[in-house]
Chain A
Amino acid sequence: DAKTTQPNSMESNEEEPVHLPCNHSTISGTDYIHWYRQLPSQGPEYVIHGLTSNVNNRMASLAIAEDRKSSTLILHRATLRDAAVYYCILRRRGGGNKLTFGTGTQLKVEL
């Protein structure tokens, strides 16, 4: 799977929107962009995924750049419960079953 690059950490205030960036400059046309997050003392959980179009679900929105070399996970109103490590990973169509994570972005949310 192609490599992704994320900032090590970000900070936000509660009730404000958060934009978590991910660069994937070597992405191929068949790579899906997935986001997971890991709350303290828990295993990671799925957040959202997309291919080309922006995606929304109850947890977050995913904005994908037109050239697909970057994407942004948007939390519309951060809460203290959103403090977690956020992982951006790529999954290639027909790319096998391997699932590889990086180091992610540690999001801190303050009152």
Chain B
Amino acid sequence: DVKVTQSSRYLVKRTGEKVFLECVQDMDHENMFWYRQDPGLGLRLIYFSYDVKMKEKGDIPEGYSVSREKKERFSLILESASTNQTSMYLCASRPGPTEQSEAFFGQGTRLTVV
């Protein structure tokens, strides 16, 4: 079974802290994604990566950066956490460029910034 693992299920950080959210997948997928999910707003794409060291902005990249140094790992970085970044963060991976392939999601990290 494909596994997408997010390093933490719950995280509490202080305003201004640098925060790293880690995601690892074990199926050699080319594509990896970071989303945030807020009540009433659905899943919104922050960043995605289609290859090592390659990244593209999603719909809401402001305040975030990403890193993909190895194929299996995709990190989301909050350079200076703010309270409006309190949210559920979901990582996903998907093989290849094909429009038919399914995406696999992690369990999510609930981040609270105080």
Contacts and interface: CB of A to CB of B under 8 A. Distances in A.
Nearest to B54: A97
Contacts of A30: 99
Interface stretch (A14-22, A39-47, A60-68, A72-80): A39-47
B56 interface: yes
Interface residues of A, number: 27
B109 to A, nearest CB: 10
Judged by DSSP, the binding face of A is: loop
B42 A102 contact: yes
Interface of A: 30-32, 34, 36, 41-46, 49, 87, 91-104
26 contacts: A31-B99, A41-B107, A41-B108, A42-B108, A43-B4, A43-B105, A43-B106, A43-B107, A43-B108, A44-B43, A44-B103, A45-B104, A87-B42, A91-B99, A95-B99, A96-B97, A97-B30, A97-B31, A97-B97, A98-B45, A98-B48, A98-B56, A99-B92, A99-B94, A101-B42, A103-B41
Interface of B: 4, 30-31, 33, 35, 40-45, 48, 50, 56, 58-59, 90, 92, 94, 97, 99-100, 102-108
